[in-house]
Amino acid sequence: MRIADELPSLMQAYLEWLAIHKRLSDKTCENYARDLTLLCRLAAQVQVTEPQRLAAYQIKHFVMQLHGQGHGPKSLARYLSCWRTWFEWLVKYHELPANPVEGVRAPKAPKNLPKALSVDDAVNLANHAARGDTAILKRDHAIIELLYSSGLRVSEIAGLDVSPPTATSENDQGTGWVDWSESEVHVLGKGSKPRIAPVGAPAMAALNAWQQARAAMPKSALTHALFINTQGKRLSVRSIQLRLAHHAKVLGLPVRVHPHMLRHSFATHILQSSGDLRAVQELLGHSSLSATQVYTGLDFQHLASVYDAAHPRAKKQTKD
């Protein structure tokens, strides 16, 4: 027996409408049927025999009840989406006065912050690529060093050119460039916000080694892109992600490493060493301090305790 066969007639009619008019797959309709079955079960618990007569306060109660039972934000959002569209159908085709799910929202899912590598793992990952002598390995080494040394986004890495833009460099022009003499990279971050990021000595050494290897590659003179593939074309974001994951896997790191993890490691390690949140904000190119605080996973209570211990007016004065 199908799940839908146990549902009230209005729900069965809705599922048939989805299959015919929306052309949803059998699997999708089955998932809708499960979520509608849940709504019927919850309605029965509050002595509502016709789910279409549920009120908004009851829907909110169901969400709180399910959340208390351990249903996650994503599951709750899916239930509400299904129930909302069913009630919308009733409003449109069966003269239901109002949609009781309208305006009801699931709890927000907590942000999953990217994990940081340990200092040893980050350094070992960079050193691993440095062991090879091929042009591709020199390129990968320079990319890994630059990700960890400067905290760049992977899109910023892919957009780097070997030199500043000129009037004749419109073709394949990137969004940033390397200042070789100053050991800096100029990038265009989110919101087209320019910033300059310092490059550490090991990363500059890797970049110089790659620059020499790049010059010997066929077709390298046809592009301004700093990081190129064997065909002489700008390396894509996806290619950088795959190469980084490959080196981490070969090294035997216990986690799947992606470029954002190295950016997070960069921020975390600097913050742990210096405690200077404002400096990390500037290095990452964040517009607000709160963005940096969330990005690094910094505990605000720790910040408050530091403030209480350091600021002369932070605490109430004790009476003598």
Active-site entry in 128, 138, 153, 234: 153
Note if 263 is an active site residue.
yes
d(CA 301, CA 308): 10
* Residue in 138, 224, 234, 286 annotated catalytic: 286
238 is catalytic: no
Q: 214, 243, 258, 263: which one is catalytic? A: 263
The pair of structure tokens assigned to 12 is 């069965």
Torsions phi, psi for 106 (to 5 deg): -75, 155
Helix (H), strand (E), coil (C) string for 225-275? ECCECCCCCECCHHHHHHHHHHHHHHHCCCCCCCHHHHHHHHHHHHHHHHC
Tell me if residue 195 falls in helix, strand or coil: strand
State yes or no: is 79 an active-site residue. Answer: no
Instruction: Identify the active-site residue in 190, 219, 256, 315.
Output: 190
**Active-site pick, 260, 264, 302, 315:** 260
The CB-based long-range contact list for 226-230 (8 Å cut-off, 24+ gap) reads 226/160, 226/161, 226/162, 226/174, 226/177, 226/178, 227/139, 227/142, 227/143, 227/157, 227/158, 227/160, 228/139, 230/136
Q: Is 190 annotated in the active site? A: yes
Active site residue 153: yes
| 234 among known catalytic residues | no
Note whether 11 and 51 are within 8 A (CB).
yes
Question: Would you please indicate which residues are annotated as catalytic (active-site) residues?
Answer: 153, 190, 260, 263, 286, 295
